[in-house]
Amino acid sequence: MRQIIYLLMKTVVLFSLFLIFFSYAMFQGGFVSWFLFYLTLPILFYYLVFIFYPIKDWKVERVLEKNQLEAGQDIQIELNLNRHLPFPLSYLIIEDTLPRSMGGIFTRNGWPKLLAKRKLSQRNLTERAIFYPNFRRQLTYQYQLTELPRGFHSIESIRLTISDLFGFITKTIELPVQSTFSVLPASLELRLNLLNKSKLLGDQVSSTMHADRSSNMTGARQYTPGDRLSAIHWKATAKTDTLMTKEFDQEYNRDGAVILFGINNTIAYEWNVAMCYALLPRLKADNLQVEFNYIGADQMADSTKNSWANLADSFTALKPGATEMMVEASFDHYQQSFDRGNFLLIVTDQLTEKMVARLISLSVKHQRITVYVTQAKSDQTIGTRALEVELEQNRITVVTIDEDKTKQPRWVVTI
């Protein structure tokens, strides 16, 4: 609406100038006066056509070099503009407005500096270029976005601004051109160190042998040869005069669990996401049955027994924001699970007193608990160190990851 009012005002100004020049020629008379009047007519006519020139009919296409990349990588974007009417334009401004999710500058393999700064440096979210199209119908503009942060990014529209040589009339329009791509977590060189590998493999065989063992009865079914006699449902058999067998939920015997807490929106959180993203495929490659839980703004649960077809998309979309209530609920869910496995690996960017208390209560009956705490040296307070000491005194292994440890070319996760 504001653009329409602006153009109407410019139209009124043009007609006013026409009347002024015409009145001057009529009253002044003479060759010079009429010469000046006819000289201004093409200019006034050009501006009149410029006002009604249909910029909204332009066709704009955004072409992405690739639709999926890793954090810290670059992407090249190409904008193609086409128009039907070759109307002369003095200059054209193209503005591609980037979403806030792309505001951070993530330096690939620059974990020590990033962790020390805690936050990502911010980029300009407007990519702007000036062209002088004149009569050209097709224009192409290429630019590169460098050091992209993790997440799903969607560029929604393109803003076009055209103007005459003197800037008397300016027209702006925003055209919807949506382009979406995903940036996966940064890759880490990771090696898995299993301290109790022999016992884990032994339990794995046991888990396979008892894969059909069940704990919760869900109903009854007709007896089939090979069913255990202890599983016969005598009440259902008496009612139906047919031998019936109890039906159970299938029990899942696991080797351990990994819980990732996303509390603060810092570089430490991004390191933890990248670490778990590299760790889970390694656990699956070693044939370990491990349950993974993420506690953040949203919650995610998965297991190495699944195919993990959507693992990349799930980790790309993770966002921090776990509250104390969510942390408590995750521990309650873990304690209620039938089979806790042989190890519990906690990955977090902040230790709290309640979290430490729950871990200590678990350590009484749990075989092995390891806690990875990622924090910059400037964030490691006396209180944080006291909580870590309290965990270590209760036979819980604590590994603190700071700027120095992220310099390692290959990270080792010990379970």
3-state secondary structure of 75: strand
The bridge status of strand 411-414 relative to strand 126-131 is unpaired
Q: Which residue intervals of 29-117 are DSSP H helices?
A: 30-51, 111-117
- The answer to whether 129 and 96 are in contact (CB under 8 A) is no
**Stretch (H or E) spanning 190:** strand 190-193
- The fraction of the chain above a pLDDT of 70, given in percent, is 89
- Distance, in Å, from the CA atom of 179 to the CA atom of 136, rounded to the nearest integer, reads 26
Report the pLDDT averaged over residues 260-264. 94
Please report the pLDDT score of residue 248 as a whole number.
56
In this structure, which amino acid lies at residue 294? Y
3-state secondary structure of 410: coil
- Distance, in Å, from the CA atom of 306 to the CA atom of 116, rounded to the nearest integer, reads 37
Selected from 3.30.470.20, 2.60.40.10, 3.40.50.10070, 2.30.110.10, the CATH number assigned to the domain covering 55-184 reads 2.60.40.10
Tokens of 183: 């940036």
DSSP state of 134: B
Q: What CATH architecture does domain 190-207+252-414 belong to?
A: 3-Layer(aba) Sandwich (3.40)
- Distance, in Å, from the CA atom of 88 to the CA atom of 164, rounded to the nearest integer, reads 9
- Distance, in Å, from the CA atom of 85 to the CA atom of 54, rounded to the nearest integer, reads 9
For 273-331, write each residue's pLDDT tens digit: 999 999 999 998 888 889 999 999 988 988 888 777 778 899 999 999 999 999 999 99
Highest mean pLDDT among 25-34, 161-170, 208-217, 351-360: 351-360
For 123-143, write each residue's pLDDT tens digit: 999 999 999 998 899 999 999
3-state secondary structure of 213: coil
- Distance, in Å, from the CA atom of 104 to the CA atom of 346, rounded to the nearest integer, reads 27
